[in-house]
Amino acid sequence: MRHPNTEVMTMDQGRGPRTDQDSGIEDVTLLVLEWLGEQGVNAMIRVDAERVADNAPAWTFAASGGPLEHGIRADGRTVQHCMSAALARLREAGLPVPF
């Protein structure tokens, strides 16, 4: 199942992934994490209260293992920014996240 406003773009289609701030990614974040787990990828998203207080990018996504050759990390000021960047990095790493 893919979110209707999210276009899946992979490197083998000749286009690079892009971040889409308005895709509603916060609505599918848990589905993405569940899908990653099914692929053997360890993944998490967290918010750091100290970074919120410092007005720094407080959201962090991290993933490793499974088919990922290297770990992936993405940070953002909002969950949308963080997950949008995370999806782009996952796709760059060859994981065709279906959301």
Q: Which range of residues forms the domain containing residue 78?
A: 24-92
Within a domain: 12: no
Q: Tokens 């290297």 label which residue? A: 70
DSSP 6-60: -----GGGT------TTS-GGGTHHHHHHHHHHTT-EEEEEE-HHHHHTTS--EE
At 4 the pLDDT is: 39
At 12 the pLDDT is: 37
10-residue block means of pLDDT along the chain (99 residues)? Answer: 36 41 74 96 97 94 97 96 96 93
At 11 the pLDDT is: 33
Whole-angstrom distance, CA of residue 43 vs CA of residue 29: 11
**In what order do the strands lie in the sheet containing 59-64?**
42-47, 59-64, 72-76
Within a domain: 69: yes
* Residues composing the chain: 99
Within a domain: 35: yes
| Total domains present in the chain | 1
Q: What is the pTM of this model?
A: 0.73
At 72 the pLDDT is: 97
